[in-house]
């Protein structure tokens, strides 16, 4: 069961809350205007009155400095634009999936061609392809032949992908990961 404030934590990680107006507990602040101009070091009360006159909020931008840096801005608008920008950045990220193609030691030519076509499509879509060959029973004695089958398969993908590292044996499986080639 999830804790009751689980979803609140998720929202606050997206946007870090800043201290505004009366929440600021410094006697003097370095004030920055709404257009980025330096207004100098003023008392907190004076900064609050300037913000109130202009219809803006006094926002603590950097509390670790001496004196703390505060800026005059519309906090609601600032928060909205920050959340919007974060969403755009998240949307622009490309999530790379790993698709798997399974082979066997006794695979026929037509089946290899079919799997090459599938793997080529995955690579062209920008996904990585994990090629797996599982050896059963007596096939485990012929590891070299299994590696040759995997290498032959990967060589057919050389136009659209590159092998991340050489095929490796884990238990009775041989793995290799093929990444899409970088488009220019």
Task: Give the pLDDT mean for 28-35.
Answer: 83
pLDDT tens track for 66-91? 888 888 888 888 888 888 888 888 88
Residue pair 128/175 in contact by the 8 Å Cβ criterion:
no
Residues 6+ apart with CB under 8 A from 71: 31, 32, 33, 34, 58, 59, 61
Structural domains in the chain, sorted by start = 6-91 (3.10.20.80), 98-180 (3.30.110.10)
Helix residue ranges per DSSP H, 41-183: 44-54, 75-92, 109-124, 143-156
Which pLDDT score, from 0 to 100, does residue 10 have? 47
Which pLDDT score, from 0 to 100, does residue 67 have? 83
pTM: 0.51
Burial 27-61 (b: 16+ CB within 10 A, else e): ebbbbbeeeeeebeebebeebbebbeeeebbbbbe
pLDDT tens track for 79-126? 888 888 888 888 877 777 888 899 888 888 898 899 999 999 988 888
pLDDT tens track for 126-166? 888 899 988 888 887 888 888 888 888 888 888 888 888 88
Going by pLDDT thresholds of 50, 70 and 90, the confidence category of residue 183 is low
């Amino acid at each position: 069961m999830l804790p009751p404030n689980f979803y609140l934590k998720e929202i606050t990680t997206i946007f870090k809350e800043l201290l505004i107006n009366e929440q600021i507990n410094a006697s003097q602040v370095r004030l920055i205007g709404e257009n980025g101009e330096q207004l100098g070091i003023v008392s907190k009360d004076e900064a609050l009155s300037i913000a109130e006159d202009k219809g803006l909020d006094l926002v603590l931008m950097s509390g670790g400095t001496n004196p703390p840096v505060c800026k005059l801005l519309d906090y609601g608008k600032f928060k909205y634009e920050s959340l919007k920008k974060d969403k755009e950045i998240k949307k622009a990220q490309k999530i790379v999936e790993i698709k798997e193609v399974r082979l066997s030691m006794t695979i026929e030519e037509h089946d290899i061609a079919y799997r090459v076509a599938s793997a080529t499509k995955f690579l062209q879509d920008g996904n990585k392809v994990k090629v797996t060959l599982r050896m059963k029973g007596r096939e485990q004695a012929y590891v070299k032949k299994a590696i040759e089958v995997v290498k032959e398969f990967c060589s057919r993908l050389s136009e659209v992908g590159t092998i991340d590292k050489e095929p490796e044996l884990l238990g009775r499986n041989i793995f290799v990961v093929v990444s899409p080639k970088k488009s220019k």
